[in-house]
Structure 1
Amino acid sequence: MKQFVRRLQFLAAASLTTTMLLAHAPGQATGTGGTVAGTVTDPSDALVAGANVTLTSAVTGYKQSVTTGTDGAFRLVNLPPNQYHLEVSAAGFQSYAQDIPVHTQVPIQVSVRLVLGAATQTVNVEASAEAVENVPAAHTDVDQSLLQNLPLSGTGQGLSDAITLSSGGVVADSNGFFHPQGDHGETTYVVDGQPISDQQNKVFSTQLPANAFQSMELVTTGPGAEYGDKTSLIVNTVTRSGLGQKPTASLDAYYGSFGTIGEDATFGIGGAKWGNFLVLDSSRSGRFLDSPEFWPIHDVGNTETIWDRIDYDPGSRDALHVNAFAARNWFQIPNTYDQSQQDQRQQARTFNFALGYQHTFNANTLLSVNPFVREDHVDYYPSRDPFNDNPATIDQDRHLTNWGTRAEVSFADRINNVKIGTELMQTHLVENFNFGLTNPAYNPVCLTTSGAPVTTPTPVNPNACAGLGYVANPNLQPGLVPYDLTRGGSLFYFYDRGNVNQEAFYAQDQITLKNLTLNLGVRWDNYDGLSKDHLFEPRAGASYFVKRIGTVVRFSYDRTMETPYNENLLLSSSTGAGGLASNVFGAYGSTP
């Protein structure tokens, strides 16, 4: 707990220091969403100041507005990928309208020339205002306006609820375990360019707060070549930014059944060149996890989360943003009626720090670099008296530390949207695990002639059962007998550490030909952990917009390489000396 508090103090100090530095630095930063920028002129090419510029999405309802400065320039930043409708109006001029697809981080330049006339008249440039996206990937767009209206849980799984409630083909159990397309846990989050493929639910880790996201693109079919690792569901997110905001804050407090109480607070502030957006969430519930009983027993838990995003954007060639995140879940393990004395608990702590740097070479080419580090630290505590635990006492302390970088060069013009990039990551695993049986009837050595378990400390050898008037247990797991504390056994001790190294390279091009969109790409993945593998992965997709009936027809072919879960990877894969013998905990065979 002291270590976690120190990290929170460091996070707060780092966020404040970075904000102060960025507010006075000669560099810049922008979000990893899209950017639409341009100038507004009159028929004589004179700059128009004070023009109202509004960008809206008919798909999600997202809206962003700015006013041109004395130089007639405008800049709309941190835009979620989608189809947009641009409108420009000024006194004494006809309104201007244009549809703009935003599917790249390369800034999209727009030159707006207003025509004299009444404001009730509108000049349309390529305006169709379609409410569908003509892209090969089947996906769902979720905006903050929708997130605010969803009935999200306040017990550490708001993000899971947001995804399952808004995306077809994705279901989850009541603890937030995802099953996208029927494939358990195969989900990759991309948070402002940072890939996260470890399980993000309250049982194994913590979750990012749903109120930190500006938008989510939930891809269930046809992932592009930039996505790897776990691809049954891609959650591509753009987080909220304080860039260009006046001081804005929100505070939501709630109370519900099972003693559930919590608060969600946000604060955004910024100017034309810098911004800061802070999220502070906390909650407590008497039914934190799904209970095995109708009324929860020993099921109290709480969660605390802090998220901070810092931007600096002077509008020139270089850009920077910083994401900082820390969270903690502390909860009791729910009991059944026959576990009245059991007091098992778990604590999960997460720390994440990510940078995003962008350099614009020209109007069509952009470089993005995203270094990051993230750590999950999970402790599982047994009851003080191990014999209060039933049927086993368990103690665990594990660390999962992931660091790496993602670099990508993007090129975009009216037809092509090219991405060429690489991902380099290492995950360092440290696992401590102790285990012992505390219920003599769980793995009895002998049975009575009527089939009842013999719960006496002896015998410990099934060959001795007949001499005592018993029969040997045909379902005995002999590998568990040395760890049966009721029969003089000792705790099973496990400790190991290891690294998982991953490298990936990809290239793809999204080609737009009127109503036809093609997505052609290739990816190469290399996995070097307890097992080793590499794979060449072609990706191809096509979509065609049938305008007459407002329908998009999609096709895709994807070859992917799914990687093992990192949680408890060392323990579940170990055998032999110091590891798990055959038939113990379902572990068979040798290290892969």
Structure 2
Amino acid sequence: MKKISLFVLLFCFASAPLLAQVNTGELRLTLTDPSGHGVESSVVLSNEANQYFRRLVTNKDGNITIKTLPYGVYSLKVEKESFASVATSFEIRSAIPVEQTLQLVISPVSTVIHVSASSSLIDPNGPSSIMRIGSAQIEDKVDSLPGRSVQDLVNSQPGWLYEGNAVLHPRGSEYQTQLIVDGVPLTDNRSPGFGPEIEADDLDSISVYTAGFPAEYGRKLGGVVELNTTHQPLSGLHGQLVLGGGSYDTLQSFGQLQDTWGKNSLFASASGSVTSHYLNPVVLENFTNKGTTADFAVRYERDFSPRDSFNLSVRHELSRFQVPNELLQEQAGQIQNGDNFETIGTAGYQHTFSPNLLTSLVGMVRDNANDLYSNPLSTPIIAFQKNDFREGYFKDTVSFHHGHQEFKAGVESDATFLHEDFSYTITDPTQFDDGTPTTLPPFIQSRPDLEQSAFVEDLIRLGQWTLSGGLRWDHYQLLLNQNAVSPRLSIGRYLPSINTVVHASYDRIFQTPSNENILISSSGYIQSVDPQVLKLPVKPSEGNYFEAGASKSVAERLRLDVNVYRRDVRNYADDDQLLNTGVSYPIAFDKAVIYGAEGKLDLVHLGKLTGYVSYSYMVGNVWFPVTGGLFLGDDVNSALTQLSGHFPDSQDQRNTLRIRFKYQLMPRIWLAAGLLSGSGLPFEFEGSPDDALAQYGPDVVNRLNFDRGRVDPSLSVQASLGATVYKSEKINSRFQIDGDNLNNRLNVIDFGGLFSGNAIGPARSFSLRLNTTF
């Protein structure tokens, strides 16, 4: 276990920084009575487009500051006994706080005063498509297996696709997803087998981008997922406790406490889980698949004044798990264990120079360790890996509002110090090329990955038109030293007569390679493994993304989003394995062309019914030759001679359908049902069908179409039942039971994936969940 470093502690407790706002802002609300004195009152804040809903209470002076609000138009309702209710709306469009003062009017009868109130079902000033996952959807989410609660929520959106072990792939991209956690980017693989996750119960909202990226984003641009943790300043002590469990011996828990006094707020959370189904098994029997996760976080915020804010947080996460066995490996007695440990310290400072000018500083230091251990009975290889990195990150941004413009500029620097340690012993030489050494001394190497960037962007509103333009500069230095300039442009037009926003976007992208085992793939160690080696430096991906689409509101009950897109990428990023181990390393092909269409129909409310239907169509092709990566033995000749032609992208699932609807049976009881269907991913298997039978068994092989090279279509039916079991002014307790894959179909997710080469979805399973807030 890698302990938190002294450097992290010194950075966190000696710096004076804040909350790093990216595409979020804040509302500063003051409520007064007719004489101008502050009024403590209930406040309901909602945004149907963002799926955001919060019921809050102002302090005794009538003040409340609501932070990390995703951009959009919000509805605000104020209710206070003896006063007329007030309904109004406001817009969040930048990091500069929105200040509103509302004076309540004494009313002897039931009265509602509307102050420019409007619908928030669509964003009339949105220049691009953004999928929002709000507090209501997070609260009612289908329970997930440990390590993938955030991934499951993102995977519910059109354009996203799972391969094995909850690795997310947006619009065909391989390992090019980044998470933005409270404004701080994490660009490494965050799937259960590679990095611990932040529990979804710890989040207030999620914003998902697959096009129309602000220039502030870079380095990993297959898709961007903004995670905003819960830290609304509620007076007094408040908290949440979640207990759950179900099939596969799964137990999960999450707890959160927060307290606000004066200008100070303190937030603490912890979660833990155990399961016997941590990764996707490779055979139906689910051999050796136990996993344990834990997460601890503390956050402190202080508003020194209306102009100065300070933030400090520390988070420690870990996971320990077994790697699932194939049939032959289980018979041999193989045990492979993996673990991940991560400690993150962040700090930031925000200063408002004027109502139109704001600056924000944020810094992060984190330690990350990723290990793999194999017992002596492992076959065909005993593999050991002990990788870690230390990352230091800094960003400074300035936001400026002028008339109809929201201007933002900034610089960022990221230094990641990589360390790799790998060794192996071959136990079954028949599975490898002749001459491959059965054992080698450990490979141990360290090297810094240095990346810097700068950006400018401007959001302009001209009547019913909204234009977002930006320019980004990136520098990347690891195996190569490269610079790139990336323009971004998005434009939207609101058509009020049909309540529709049409939009189009262009993104020039520069994506740095995955740093997972990138040092070993370019080292002299590989010549010792196999004298026939081809090593090509893995170049950053460069390309052009195009999207056009529309969002339409129908009768304030339905919202329809449709998009068509195309991605043209040079040096298209992919991954491969070293020998037959769980060690993955980056490779690249000459180019890729990915295109498709997506649609989502949200039923916001039709009586007691809510829900959505989404559909994705995607075609992805990748072209030879190979332009980067490591190749051994026979693969060398293929890489050198295969100079033309193309093949399907490994995420080339043509049709994906997702459905989920919820019905409120009575005020405290609801039912939900849905399904997930996919037409199947492509696969390559070098052996014969008899080899596949020996490794994976007939049930799995019967779900493969070797003639087409495709996994058979998948279908999983879900259902949920929820009930409020106790509700008072201060306590709300909700119970939920979920059933997954109720049709009990053997769904092969992919064939030929990471670790053991296969991934099977869960069989019919159930889970229980009790969520209490106070």
Normalised to the residue count of structure 2, the TM-score between the two structures is 0.64
* 1:494 counterpart (420, 430, 443): 443
Tell me whether 1:57 sits opposite 2:82 in the alignment.
no
Q: What is the rounded CA distance, in whole Å, between the counterparts of 2:324 and 2:64 in structure 1?
A: 55
1:88-139, Cα deviation, whole Å (9 max, x unpaired): 4556654443321113221112243455656644443332223112312311
Tell me whether 1:432 sits opposite 2:421 in the alignment.
yes
Instruction: Kindly indicate whether the alpha-carbon contact (under 8 Å) linking 1:521 and 1:538 is maintained by their aligned counterparts in 2.
Output: yes
Question: Which has a greater percent of strand?
Answer: 2
SS at match of 1:368: strand
- Residues 419-458 of structure 1: pairs in structure 2 closer than 5 A: 419-443=408-432
Tell me whether 1:351 sits opposite 2:343 in the alignment.
yes
Q: What is the rounded CA distance, in whole Å, between the counterparts of 2:114 and 2:190 in structure 1?
A: 45
1:435-455, Cα deviation, whole Å (9 max, x unpaired): 232113213xxxxxxxxxxxx
Give the partner amino acid of 1:542. I
Q: What is the rounded CA distance, in whole Å, between the counterparts of 2:106 and 2:239 in structure 1?
A: 40
Give the partner amino acid of 2:371. D
> Structure 1 137/177 Cα, relative in aligned 2: closer, same or farther at 3 Å?
same
SS at match of 1:168: coil
Match in the other structure for 1:138: 129
Give the partner amino acid of 1:562. Q
Instruction: Kindly indicate whether the alpha-carbon contact (under 8 Å) linking 1:391 and 1:438 is maintained by their aligned counterparts in 2.
Output: yes
* 1:551 counterpart (495, 500, 503): 500
Residue 78 of structure 1, CA deviation: 3.6
Normalised to the residue count of structure 1, the TM-score between the two structures is 0.83
Instruction: Kindly indicate whether the alpha-carbon contact (under 8 Å) linking 1:376 and 1:401 is maintained by their aligned counterparts in 2.
Output: yes
Tell me whether 1:541 sits opposite 2:533 in the alignment.
no
Gaps of 5+ in 1: 444-476, 485-489
Residue 40 of structure 1, CA deviation: 4.3
Give the partner amino acid of 1:389. S
Tell me whether 1:34 sits opposite 2:25 in the alignment.
yes
Q: What is the rounded CA distance, in whole Å, between the counterparts of 2:10 and 2:525 in structure 1?
A: 45
Tell me whether 1:381 sits opposite 2:373 in the alignment.
yes
Tell me whether 1:192 sits opposite 2:182 in the alignment.
yes
> Structure 1 519/135 Cα, relative in aligned 2: closer, same or farther at 3 Å?
same
Tell me whether 1:183 sits opposite 2:165 in the alignment.
no
Match in the other structure for 2:706: none
Tell me whether 1:327 sits opposite 2:317 in the alignment.
yes
> Structure 1 242/557 Cα, relative in aligned 2: closer, same or farther at 3 Å?
closer
How many residues are aligned here? Answer: 533
Residue 290 of structure 1, CA deviation: 0.9
> Structure 1 321/48 Cα, relative in aligned 2: closer, same or farther at 3 Å?
closer
Match in the other structure for 1:267: 257
> Structure 1 206/93 Cα, relative in aligned 2: closer, same or farther at 3 Å?
closer
Q: What is the rounded CA distance, in whole Å, between the counterparts of 2:10 and 2:270 in structure 1?
A: 16
Instruction: Kindly indicate whether the alpha-carbon contact (under 8 Å) linking 2:359 and 2:398 is maintained by their aligned counterparts in 1.
Output: yes
SS at match of 1:161: helix
Match in the other structure for 1:463: none
Q: What is the rounded CA distance, in whole Å, between the counterparts of 2:349 and 2:178 in structure 1?
A: 21
SS at match of 2:293: strand
1:558-579, Cα deviation, whole Å (9 max, x unpaired): 1010110011111123347877
> Structure 1 263/117 Cα, relative in aligned 2: closer, same or farther at 3 Å?
closer
Tell me whether 1:483 sits opposite 2:457 in the alignment.
no
Match in the other structure for 2:404: 415
> Structure 1 175/93 Cα, relative in aligned 2: closer, same or farther at 3 Å?
same
- Residues 577-588 of structure 1: pairs in structure 2 closer than 5 A: 581=531, 582=533, 585=579, 587-588=630-631
Q: What is the rounded CA distance, in whole Å, between the counterparts of 2:471 and 2:87 in structure 1?
A: 37
Q: What is the rounded CA distance, in whole Å, between the counterparts of 1:190 and 1:257 in structure 2?
A: 32
Q: What is the rounded CA distance, in whole Å, between the counterparts of 2:453 and 2:518 in structure 1?
A: 21
SS at match of 1:329: strand
Match in the other structure for 1:283: 273
* Seq. identity, %: 25
Instruction: Kindly indicate whether the alpha-carbon contact (under 8 Å) linking 1:483 and 1:492 is maintained by their aligned counterparts in 2.
Output: no
Tell me whether 1:228 sits opposite 2:218 in the alignment.
yes
Residue 258 of structure 1, CA deviation: 2.1
SS at match of 2:137: helix
Gaps of 5+ in 2: 535-577, 580-628, 637-774
Tell me whether 1:107 sits opposite 2:61 in the alignment.
no
Tell me whether 1:391 sits opposite 2:380 in the alignment.
yes
1:220-270, Cα deviation, whole Å (9 max, x unpaired): 111010100111211122211152343223222222222222222222222
Give the partner amino acid of 1:308. V
Residue 423 of structure 1, CA deviation: 1.0
- Residues 203-222 of structure 1: pairs in structure 2 closer than 5 A: 203-222=193-212
Match in the other structure for 2:300: 310
Deviates further, 390-399 or 242-251? 242-251
1:496-553, Cα deviation, whole Å (9 max, x unpaired): 1111111110011111233221101111111111122111111110111222322211
Tell me whether 1:510 sits opposite 2:497 in the alignment.
no
1:341-381, Cα deviation, whole Å (9 max, x unpaired): 11111111111111121111111111111100122101111
Give the partner amino acid of 1:527. Y
- Residues 364-379 of structure 1: pairs in structure 2 closer than 5 A: 364-379=356-371
Larger Rg: 1
SS at match of 1:569: coil
Q: What is the rounded CA distance, in whole Å, between the counterparts of 2:18 and 2:440 in structure 1?
A: 53
Residue 333 of structure 1, CA deviation: 1.4
* 2:153 counterpart (150, 157, 162): 162
Q: What is the rounded CA distance, in whole Å, between the counterparts of 2:10 and 2:474 in structure 1?
A: 34
1:140-173, Cα deviation, whole Å (9 max, x unpaired): 11123211211132321211112112x2111113
Give the partner amino acid of 2:414. M
> Structure 1 48/493 Cα, relative in aligned 2: closer, same or farther at 3 Å?
closer
Residue 312 of structure 1, CA deviation: 1.4
SS at match of 1:127: coil
Instruction: Kindly indicate whether the alpha-carbon contact (under 8 Å) linking 1:509 and 1:519 is maintained by their aligned counterparts in 2.
Output: yes
> Structure 1 64/358 Cα, relative in aligned 2: closer, same or farther at 3 Å?
farther
Instruction: Kindly indicate whether the alpha-carbon contact (under 8 Å) linking 1:242 and 1:311 is maintained by their aligned counterparts in 2.
Output: no
Q: What is the rounded CA distance, in whole Å, between the counterparts of 1:126 and 1:79 in structure 2?
A: 20
Q: What is the rounded CA distance, in whole Å, between the counterparts of 1:110 and 1:83 in structure 2?
A: 14
Tell me whether 1:561 sits opposite 2:510 in the alignment.
yes
SS at match of 1:163: helix
Instruction: Kindly indicate whether the alpha-carbon contact (under 8 Å) linking 2:17 and 2:348 is maintained by their aligned counterparts in 1.
Output: no
Residue 61 of structure 1, CA deviation: 3.6
Match in the other structure for 2:478: 529
